[in-house]
Amino acid sequence: GTLDFSKAKTVVVYCNGAWCLQSTQLIKDAKYSLLKLGYPKDKIKYYRGGMQSWVTFGLTTIGKGK
């Protein structure tokens, strides 16, 4: 069967840092990437800086140790 993305929400994909390739693979290169599965391109946002730049800029995080 096919997946129904008619009610797809916007997702933000990020990695550990700008050098990390896992997030771009998840979007387009992996065997079961979001785009290959049919996820709407306009609903995928990519944060290139990743967690490292997010924390460096002092932006809010939530998780263990906070």
Amino acid symbol at 14: Y
Position 42 in a domain? yes
pLDDT of residue 65: 62
DSSP type of residue 27: I
Q: How many domains does the chain have?
A: 1
Position 27 in a domain? yes
Position 64 in a domain? no
Q: Is the separation of the CB atoms in 46 and 39 below 8 Å?
A: no
Position 17 in a domain? yes
Domain that holds residue 26: 11-53
Position 60 in a domain? no
pLDDT of residue 2: 82
pLDDT of residue 1: 64
DSSP type of residue 42: G
Q: What is the pLDDT of residues 13-53, one digit of tens each?
A: 999 988 888 999 999 999 999 999 999 999 999 999 999 99
Beta strand pairing status for 44-47 and 11-14?
Answer: parallel
First-residue to last-residue Cα distance in the chain: 42
